[in-house]
Amino acid sequence: MAETRIPQTEMTGLFGAVAKRFSKKMLGEVPEQLEVMWHNKSVLMTMMGLSKKAKKWKECDENLKAFAHMATMALVGCRFCLDLGYFMAHHEGLDVEKAREVPRWRESDVFTPLERDVMEYAEAMSQTPPTVTDELSARLLESLGAPALIELTAYITLANMASRMNIAIGPFGSQGFAEACGLRPLAEPSTSAGGVASRS
């Protein structure tokens, strides 16, 4: 087990056995994050419940939400979340070729103007303090409509909650979920200012 700020713990009991079996079936292994969260199952269940309920929201396009979610994770720096988000995009039949480019979305030529606005919005919301502008919000409101923009905003809020919590209690590195199912490695920002390099 990797060293985390809050130590991982054994997932015991019937609930633990079920959770481990479900995780292995869906992801191929038990996430380290789940083993840390197991210390407080009430918090874990609440977080999982929020995620499950959010999956039922249908006003905003699923690809747009996935790109916003991953852009948030990339900005905050949660490698575990980014890897899992890429894997889930594949698992849910979304556009994985675009999903892999999210960490370098500003330089990539695969995204539409709307998709770029969505990822800019995700990053602006995730800054401290937030840097959302009237102009960006107005463009999204015109393109998406109020119900979808509210949903997108809430989805990005949940992504911030999860990623920042994972970094604080972990931090958790990538567990290779995407790699295990044969996906190409995520594109990665370069270390040079203003430039981004993609791993092939």
Per-residue pLDDT of the chain (200 residues; tens, 9 = 90+): 468 999 999 999 999 999 999 999 988 899 999 999 999 999 999 999 999 999 999 999 999 999 999 999 999 999 999 999 999 999 999 999 999 999 999 999 999 999 999 999 999 999 999 999 999 999 999 999 999 999 999 999 999 999 999 999 999 999 988 887 788 889 987 554 333 333 33
Give the per-residue pLDDT at 2: 61
Give the per-residue pLDDT at 189: 74
Fold annotation for 59-197: AhpD-like (1.20.1290)
Give the per-residue pLDDT at 177: 86
Q: Which residue has the tokens 């993609």?
A: 198
Q: What burial class does residue 108 get, using C-beta atoms within 10 Å of its C-beta: 0-12 exposed, 13-18 middle, 19+ buried? A: middle
Please tell me the distance from the alpha carbon of residue 64 to that of residue 7, in angstroms, as a whole number: 35
Give the per-residue pLDDT at 196: 36
Judge contact between 44 and 11, C-beta under 8 A: no
